[in-house]
Structure 1
Amino acid sequence: MYLTIRAIVFGILLSFTWAVVATAQNGGDSKKNNQSNTTDQKSQPSTDAYYLVDSLNDGIPTSDSSPDLSTPLATVENFIFACREKDFARAAQSLNFKLIPQDQRDQAAYLAENFYYVLNQRLWVDIEDLPDRADGQVINRIGKQDPMAGKPRKSIRLGVINIDDWKEVRVRLQRVKVGDGVPIWLFSAQTVEKIPALYQEYGPSWVEEAMPAWAKTRLAGKVPIWEWFALFVFVAAGVCVGYVTQGVAGYAILHRQRKERLWIERLIDDLRVPVAVASAALTTYLLKQAFLSLTGPVNTVVDPVMLLVVVGAIAWAVLRGLDVATSFTMDRYVNTLKDDIEGAEQGLLTKISIARRLVALVAVFVVVGVVLIQLNIFDAVGYGLLASAGVTTVILGIAAQPILGNLLAGLQIAITQPVRIGDSVLFEGHWGHVEGIKFTYLTIRTWDKRRLIVPLQYLISKPVENWTKVNEDLTRPIKVYVDYTTDVQIIREKFQEMATQHELWDQDSEPIVQVTDCSDESMEVRALCHAKSPADAWNLHCEMREKLIAFVQDLESGKYLPRERIRMLSETAQGNGKQASHSDR
């Protein structure tokens, strides 16, 4: 079953990887271009890397100078530098107003100003990564391989800005050509069309508009003074909320008198730090989202970091809660390894232990995923990176087989439960109790206090004796070797007498004594010891063996102990044909 599950999962991973690679290599670039094309933009054959349009930016105010828009880098630089110089009419030359109504194009400079404000707030454009070629080609550099290298492009995505947490605006550059003119690069018509919505979402708040001019002076990270001050105030408020939360939790612990609810105090004590951190981070994050939008690249770092702290603290609190529940239950039922632990409780503990680790693993993936989504990492890498990393993904998948195998083995153990926490097992000659089940291994505490660490994948592929799988009672054999002249019935009666009088004997079972084997000098007598637990069975059969051997030794002064018989033939006896003498030893 395990091998089947492993093969299916690994096959799915390989199939998915190759499907993504094929999609990326064959359809990724085509998909991007199709999304960027509109009904009034007629694309040329694939050999022409530009969009052919009938007209361009008719009706917008003209600028005193003609900007350089021949390359993606030149277009972005013209827009940024012109906006910094407050020449928004020249900055508007970098925008494609094809989808803006004709009667609104006189507001081109105003739209350019609004677009610059939004970009400054929400998008970090690294101009060093923009190609400075008319055909938009990129050149591979040492340590950075681009799958689009050497291919002419007519559309380049700079990033994504979210609206209302579910609408996305893709900020793109497109290469367009009017008639027989020279192709130029502009911010796409689809991007320009969304400027009013973007500005409405991320435009200056009433707080920013009320600030005096000196408070808007930009300092470190190109962030105004008032924004740094507001961020400091919000962080201080969050810290205060965290301290109050921790103080309330401490007060609740000190003033509880009900000792029978000790686990509640333990839960509160373990949760107060992560809950305090989560409260502080969440308060700071909500205040910032409501009243503050940091300017420039600082915002692209602060938001994900704050969200990481919030999500991480919540995940920390959840894991702490699971830890308390697991530890409390194990302290009560398992850590003492009592023999009266119920099978249902063992199964529950096993499921809790494995579920806790699976939840921890999921929590890590969720935290990392949230941060990557907030950073738009998936949008940044695009299909090209997936295509270039396809082979690497397959190699990593093969290398991760042992880890994946152990994780799947842990899931299989949780479902089928061949062993459970607290079970008494014999594995490859080592007897002990299952002390814990981790992500990838299982711990067996042996009878001599050693810890045997067994990988889960190895465990389920090898035979293991579980002495408490169905019930606790166990039978242990005793083997005693006696002479052929021994009356076995005497031994049987003595064993029955000793068994019924022993406190560890399971009174529901009858003492059994049998002759199970023989050799040239002796016969093997086996007595079966029955006890209600593996530990009792071990101690019982050791004591009964000792007493049974002592009984045989004392029986007629050891007459029935195993002995070796030697026949001695003298030369005279051999010559006269007389019966040879013999002696016992």
Structure 2
Amino acid sequence: MCETRAAARVVVACLAALLAVLCLALPSAAQDGSDYWYETEPEGIGTRIGDALDRSTPRQTMRGFTNASDARDYERAARYLNLSRLSPADRATRGPEIARQLASIMERQVWIDWTGLPARPDARIERSGDSNGRAGQPRRDLHVKTLDAGGSAYDIRLARYKPPEAPALWLFTPQTVENVGPLYATYGPRKYESMIPERLKREVWGLWLWEWIVVPLSGLGALLLGWGTYALVSALSRRSERGWLKAGLERSALPLAILVMASAGQMLLSWVVSFSGPVHAFLRPTLTILMVWGVGMTFLRMLDAILHRITLRYVGEIDDRRGRDEREFYTSIYALRRLIVLVMVAVAAMVVLAQLNLFESLGLTLLASAGVLTVVFGIAGQAVLGNIIASLQIAFAKPVRIGDAILFEGDWAYVEAIFYTFLRLRTWDKRRIVVPVTYFVSKPFENWSVTEARMMRVIELWLDPRCEVDVLRRKFEALLKEDPDIEDPENTYTYATEHRPEGLKVGFYAMMPDPSTGWAVQGRLRERLLAHVRDEHPDWLPRERIMDVGAAAGGAARAGAAD
């Protein structure tokens, strides 16, 4: 019995020692175990006896901080910061300065969404659509804004802290306090802002007074700069002797002008002045999108000019007289251009999202709503996506190529261009037919140039049944040998293809080098054959025979009397 009690005491002692070790090793878990706040010591969080500051909710803390900053009372604004990571000697001196810098950053970079700041002490999520459906859950930490400085991302956050035997309160986190330094160096006032008179730095209708003056003047200056760039590029294009450079500069004048305007705006924001949050929230994404668009369109239009120059140099004007390899080369160039456009659009979208720090906010949302977006875009963009896919299918499978002669719904035309959503056909009489790609690939058509441009053409004449086909055959062969556009005069046929009481249809078949030449030769040979019949054998021309009704009736009566 004594041995059993001794063993039990040893086990209890070991468990107690293990529990003590765990308690010492995990102090943070004990401090942060609550879902409603972070447990902390009162030093550094600005609590005072009889304190009248309202820091009970995120909205009240943000409102109190902004009101104190607007009143230039940075000592009071510092009491909305968690300065626990500063030494006691630095809190009184550095606290107000950090509050002033944070206020300047938020004035210039943060457009506060007051409706998005909870008015509850526990910051409970009240709507199921917020925060990935975590409705009803309390929060002790809120994200306000993420800013990029020097290639690194810095957060501005609010958190709830509870000192012992005191109510919980919301403050800017110690990490936010540490992030103020690099953020202020990047987004703080520019050196030229010291030249702005103090009377212009008061707020009017949500903006500083000097912004109402500088923004319109900056816009006017950007327009003048863009106009000058456009005129300069246009003048350079007129003076350029190289064809591809001339065409490229002419097409790129507008994108380059917009690029210069957007770049000037970015330099104004980076080096000259720093606008307030509402202006910056509008200008920054606008300038970023314009710069990306300007660079992309300039590159694409210069590339178009180079590809067009290559096409004219090595292929020339595309029609059915060109060989199969040349038409395939031209079609491949168009396919390459479409792929480049798709890649550029994807890269531009990624650059814009990265520059605006939208990946973090949109990533989970897009993943969570991928099914809904798929359905919405699938229904709304069904026609566009179908045309793009069909266009790429034509570009790679090549059932039809640029320059092919086709017969589509009764129209003889050339394939002049293949775009993302439509084809442009050029008829022989210079009309343009625009056909949606999905409609084109769903309809049968004749491709007269799918393997080679040569084709057999037929000339059909209705003649009197007394005509001699062999004589016409020899004449047709002689005409083919005399015609300069016929490359294979031996490949010819002449047949009587149909007979009716009113005449005989004779078909003259000949191999033509291409559809367009064949059309002209076909008309020329028809004229010469008809002229030969008219001049040499006029009795072979078709005649309409009319029966004499009276003679026919008398003959029938005599035949009946004889019977």
Shorter-chain TM band: 0.7 to 0.9
Contact 2:477-2:489 within 8 A present in 1 as well: no
Residue 440 of structure 1 and its aligned partner are, at CA, apart by: 0.7
- Secondary structure of 2:435's aligned partner: strand
Correspondence for 2:187: 202
CA distance in 1, matches of 2:178, 2:29: 15
Correspondence 1:116 to 2:103: yes
Give the aligned residue type for 2:176.
T
Distance 1:42 1:509, change over 3 A: farther
1:451 is matched with 432
Distance in 2 separating the partners of 1:40 and 1:200: 33
Structure 2 residue matching 1:82: 3-state secondary structure: helix
Amino acid at match of 2:28: D
Superposition pairs of residues 264-275 of structure 1, within 5 angstroms? 264-275=245-256
What residue is the counterpart of 1:437 in the other structure? 418
Cα separation, partners in 2 of 1:289 and 1:215, compared to 1, 3 Å = farther
Please say if residues 454 and 514 of structure 2, whose CA atoms lie closer than 8 Å, have aligned partners that are also in contact. Answer: yes
Quote the Cα distance in structure 1 between the aligned partners of 2:137 and 2:228. 59
- Confirm whether residue 304 of structure 1 aligns to residue 291 of structure 2: no
Aligned positions of 1:540-555 closer than 5 A? 540-549=521-530, 551=532
CA distance in 2, matches of 1:479, 1:263: 49
Alignment match, 1:29: none
1:162, distance to aligned residue in structure 2 (A): 1.0
Give the Cα separation in 2 of the matches to 1:149 and 1:515: 86
The reply to whether residue 420 of structure 1 matches residue 404 of structure 2 is no
Q: For structure 1, which segment, 109-118 or 566-575, has the greater mean C-alpha deviation from structure 2 after superposition? A: 566-575
Q: 2: distance between equivalents of 1:562 and 1:57?
A: 120
- SS of match in other structure, 1:391: helix
Larger radius of gyration: 2
After superposition, what is the alpha-carbon deviation per residue over 1:376-429, rounded to whole angstroms, capped at 9, x for unaligned?
A: 555555645764685354133223121101011222222233223332111122
1:171 is aligned, of 156, 169, 179, to 156
**Segment drifting more, 56-65 vs 240-249:** 240-249
Q: Which moved more, 1:518-527 or 1:501-510?
A: 518-527
Moved more, 561-570 or 494-503: 561-570
Is the CA contact 2:189–2:273 (under 8 Å) kept in the aligned structure 1? Answer: no
Q: Which residue in the other structure is 1:526 paired with?
A: 507
Structure 1 residue aligned with 2:392: 411
**Change in 2 beyond 3 A, CA 1:340/1:112:** same
- Alignment partner for residue 65 of structure 1, among 47, 51, 62? 51
Question: Which residue number corresponds to residue 317 of structure 1?
Answer: 298
The alpha-carbon deviation at position 43 of structure 1 amounts to 9.3
* 1:161 match: 147
| Pairwise CA distance, 1:212 | 7.6
Higher relative contact order at CA 8 Å, sep ≥6: structure 1 or structure 2? 1
Paired residue secondary structure (2:302): helix
Aligned partners of 2:454 and 2:512 also within 8 Å: yes
Do the aligned partners of 1:137 and 1:153 also contact (CA within 8 Å) in 2? yes
CA, structure 1 residues 230+349, in 2 after alignment: closer, same or farther (shift >3 Å)? same
Partner of 1:488: 469
Per the alignment, residue 382 of structure 2 pairs with 401
CA shift for structure 1 position 72: 2.0
- Superposed CA deviations along residues 100-133 of structure 1, whole A, max 9, x for unmatched, are 6778655444433332222222222121332212
Q: Give the percent of matched residue pairs that are identical in Structure 1 and Structure 2.
A: 30
CA distance in 1, matches of 2:338, 2:73: 58
Query: Any conservation in 2 of the 1:483–1:522 contact (CA below 8 Å)?
Result: yes
- The alpha-carbon deviation at position 160 of structure 1 amounts to 1.3
Match of 1:506 among 487, 490, 501: 487
1:186 paired to 2:167 = no
Aligned to 1:471: 452
Deviation at 1:182, TM superposition (A): 5.0
Q: Please list the CA deviations of residues 300-346 of structure 1 after superposition, one character each: whole Å capped at 9, or x if unmatched.
A: 22233333333333334334435545676788999976554454443
Judge conservation of contact 1:57–1:97 (CA < 8 Å) in 2.
no
- Sort the Cα spacing of 1:532 and 1:288 in 2 relative to 1 into closer, same or farther, 3 A: same
Give me the whole-angstrom Cα distance separating, in 2, the residues matched to 1:279 and 1:212. Answer: 26
Does residue 94 of the first structure (1) align with residue 80 of the second (2)? yes
Cα displacement (A) at 1:98: 5.9
- When the two chains are superposed, the root-mean-square deviation of aligned CA atoms in Å is 4.5
2:20 corresponds to which residue? none
- Residue type matched to 1:132 in 2? A
Amino acid at match of 1:300: A
CA contact (8 A) 1:234 1:288 kept: no
1:81 aligns with 2:62: no
Q: Which amino acid aligns with 1:115?
A: L
| Letter of the 1:436 counterpart | A
Aligned residues of 2:45 and 2:81 also touching (Cα < 8 A): no
Which amino acid is the alignment partner of residue 186 of structure 2? E
Amino acid of the structure 2 residue aligned with 1:282: S
Give the partner amino acid of 2:381: A
Partner of 1:40: 28
Q: 2-side partners of 1:168 and 1:204: how far apart?
A: 20
Report the Cα distance in structure 2 between the residues aligned to 1:283 and 1:181, rounded to whole angstroms: 53
Secondary structure of the equivalent of 2:186?
helix
Instruction: Please give the secondary structure, in 2, of the residue aligned with 1:570.
Output: helix
Deviates more, 1:246-255 or 1:340-349: 246-255
Report how far residue 364 of structure 1 moved. Answer: 5.8
Unpaired segments of 5 or more residues in structure 2? 1-25
Say whether the 8 Å CA contact 1:172–1:187 is kept in structure 2: yes
1:37-75 per-residue CA deviation (whole Å, 9 max, x = no partner) reads: x99366989xx7524x34245245545724223222112
CA offset digits 1:453-482 (Å, max 9, x no partner): 211112223332222333332221233456
TM-score, normalising length from structure 1? Answer: 0.74
TM-score where L is the length of structure 2: 0.76
For the pair 1:135 / 2:122, whether they are aligned, the reply is yes
**Contact residue 463 and residue 540 of structure 2 kept, 8 A:** no
Relative to 1, partners in 2 of residues 1:183 and 1:445: Cα closer, same or farther, differing over 3 Å? same
Paired residues of 2:394 and 2:400 also in contact (CA < 8 A): yes
